[in-house]
Every structure is written in C-alpha cells, then in structure tokens.
Homo-oligomer: A and B are copies of this chain.
Amino acid sequence: MSEKSTLVVSKIKHGTVIDHIPAGKAMNILSVLGISGEKGDRIAIIMNVESEKLGKKDIIKIEGKWLEPRDFDVISLIAPSATVNIVENFEVVKKYKVSLPDRVEGLLKCPNMTCITNERNESIKTKFKVLSRDPLKLQCEYCGTIIYKDDIVKLTNYLKK
C-alpha cells in the first residue's frame, strides 16, 4: 500500500458520495445538511486526502441516503467545487456537479435582526443575491445586509432551528 492510498474508504453499496469538497470543509457540509450521525446514518468521511483537481480534498459517503434539491444548493454555498455521485449496487449511476444559483432563497437566515425576514409575524422567505462567487459574497434582497463565506454555516444552521 503506498502512502497516498492510506485513509481510503471502500465503496458504498447504495447511497450518496459527495466528492471534491475543499479540504477541511467536510464537517461544515455535514453541519449544513443537518447530518451528525446521531440518527444512525452510516457515514464515512475522509478529510485532507490528495486530489488531482484540488490538491487536497474531503469526501463524504453516506449509505442509504439520497439528497434533496435544497441540499444541492446548500452544498454549493460551502463547496462550489463538489460533485455528488449516486451509488447503486456499488456503481455510480448518476453524477452531479453542484452549482451555486444566482439567488439563494430560503436557505440562509439574514443576520440583521431588524430585517423583515426576521419578523415573527411575517413568514417571508429570505432571498440573497450572489454578488461574488469567489470569494463568496451575498446580499439580502430585503435589507441589503452583506454576508460572506465564513458566515454561511452559522446562518444556515440557525434557519433550521
């Protein structure tokens, strides 16, 4: 076994593989997807392994789990380089590249507490316009508040509660 091949996780039978995650971001991806492993999902995570494309990357494999369209958008906020593979009987049957939309709707809480989207009596879905993709910079369409890459995990999790 060469040194490079250490920490390799073998194939899953049925499920989802999220590949080409920027190195060190796997935990953030799991966090925004609301996956902690506490519900019994069989998960493998490998972090900081060699990648031809990215230099280093993280990979997440989840047995028996399929993602929803919302999940693809939320992944694109943390890992715009990610690919999502659907595995059946140990074979990749579908392969998607996540893609950051021009508008991010209903996925992030606005950090401005006086923004109308934070008004309890209203039920307005948040909308952010993507001002810049790299580095990521978004703007609330209601109050103009700007948010950056490092705010994403906190603002995504906050919305789920």
A14 to B56 Cα, complex, angstroms: 19
Task: Indicate if the CB atoms of B10 and A6 lie closer than 8 Å.
Answer: yes
Which A residues from 2 to 41 make CB contacts under 8 A with B?
3, 5-13, 23-27, 30, 36-41
A92 contacts partner chain B, Cβ-Cβ < 8 Å: no
Partner of A48, one of B27, B42, B49, B61: B42
Chain A positions near chain B (C-beta within 8 angstroms) = 1, 3, 5-13, 23-27, 30, 36-49, 56, 58, 61, 63, 90
Partner of A40, one of B30, B38, B48, B90: B48
Partner of A90, one of B1, B13, B47: B1
Smallest CB–CB gap between A9 and chain B, Å? 5
Known: A36-B24, A37-B48, A47-B42. A8 touches B10 (CB 8 A): yes
Residues of B contacting A48 in the complex (Cβ-Cβ under 8 angstroms): 37, 40-43
A13 to B8 Cα, complex, angstroms: 12
A25 to B36 Cα, complex, angstroms: 8
A39 to B8 Cα, complex, angstroms: 19
Known: A41-B48, A56-B40. A13 touches B6 (CB 8 A): yes
Task: Indicate if the CB atoms of A43 and B39 lie closer than 8 Å.
Answer: no
Smallest CB–CB gap between A63 and chain B, Å? 6
Residues of B contacting A11 in the complex (Cβ-Cβ under 8 angstroms): 1, 6
Smallest CB–CB gap between A161 and chain B, Å? 15
Residues of B contacting A56 in the complex (Cβ-Cβ under 8 angstroms): 40
Smallest CB–CB gap between A18 and chain B, Å? 14
Task: Indicate if the CB atoms of B37 and A27 lie closer than 8 Å.
Answer: yes
